[in-house]
């Protein structure tokens, strides 16, 4: 897959929250159809990578490209316009909307431009529980169901790339297993994945390659299948 078109590229990115310097020369690339895991201990800057792309952290130096587009002034809506959807840490389900309305919101974020495989019926095939609860408030779902809704909402944008920020945080192992199957199904439909994750078993099931962070930069990378679980764990152990 490495010969495909670049969907996301960070070159020498330095990013800040206020005066706090979080990303120190961050380099990262995800190409069409790739499944990449971004791993590392808590606090090394993994979520800041997403927040910098969305304009929630301040880009001070370096460059970010979304496909052919140079992201000089990151804004939350620009990633969506350029084919990148985000499943944020904490899920952020809209409280006063039903499950189905939350899904439709995902399609609306992309405007009228992008069409593709993912429609409400296709999301319901992927997550039958969401169809059963289509008219329930999204925040009335269990944690695992809310995560499924967050993934479904992102897919409704028919993105070329999904950024999954700690999608299994706080979920039971059986739900994590279900999500692993789902992520592989999504990838099989051609959507690239950037999986920010602490669960190395899931990383081994879903990702093809990994980039390990420490102190705001990539310190190691490689093919997931060439590493043992223990080797990968070393990058996330405190």
What would the pLDDT profile of 99-143 be if each residue is shown by its tens digit? 999 998 888 765 545 677 888 999 999 999 999 999 999 889 988
- Whole-model pTM: value is 0.91
Render the burial of 216-230: b for 16+ CB within 10 Å, e for the rest. bbbebbeebeebeee
Q: Considering all CA atoms of the chain, what is the largest pairwise distance in Å, rounded to the nearest integer?
A: 47
* 159 within 8 A of 84, measured Cβ to Cβ: yes
pLDDT averaged over every residue in the chain = 90
How many of the other CB atoms lie within 10 Å of CB of 174?
Answer: 8
With beta carbons less than 8 A apart as the criterion, state whether 216 and 26 touch: yes
| pLDDT average per 10 residues of sequence, the chain (238 residues) | 82 96 96 96 92 94 94 86 88 87 81 71 93 92 91 91 92 91 92 94 95 94 91 83
Question: What's the topology of domain 6-233?
Answer: Rossmann fold (3.40.50)
At 199-212, the pLDDT tens digits run: 999 999 999 999 99
Assigned token pair, 74: 């990151």
């Amino acid at each position: 897959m490495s010969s495909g078109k670049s969907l996301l590229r960070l070159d020498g990115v330095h990013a800040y929250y206020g005066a706090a310097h979080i990303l120190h020369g961050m380099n990262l690339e995800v190409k069409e159809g790739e499944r990449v895991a971004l791993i590392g201990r808590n606090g090394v800057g993994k979520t800041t990578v997403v927040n910098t792309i969305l304009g929630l952290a301040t880009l001070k130096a370096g460059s970010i490209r979304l496909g052919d587009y140079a992201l000089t002034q990151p804004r939350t809506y620009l990633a969506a316009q350029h084919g990148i959807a985000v499943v944020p840490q904490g899920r952020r389900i809209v409280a006063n909307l039903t499950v189905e309305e939350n899904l439709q919101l995902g399609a609306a974020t992309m405007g009228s431009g992008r069409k593709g495989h993912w429609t409400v019926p296709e999301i319901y095939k992927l997550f039958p529980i969401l169809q059963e609860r289509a008219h329930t408030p999204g925040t009335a779902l269990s944690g695992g169901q809310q995560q499924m809704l967050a993934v479904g909402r992102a897919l409704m944008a028919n993105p070329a790339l999904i950024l999954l920020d700690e999608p299994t945080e706080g979920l039971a192992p059986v739900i994590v297993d279900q999500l692993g199957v789902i992520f592989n199904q999504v990838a099989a439909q051609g959507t690239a994945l950037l999986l920010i994750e602490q669960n190395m078993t899931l990383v081994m099931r879903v990702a093809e390659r990994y980039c390990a962070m420490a102190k705001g930069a990539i310190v190691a990378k490689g093919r997931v299948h060439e590493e043992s679980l223990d080797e990968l764990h070393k990058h996330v152990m405190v």
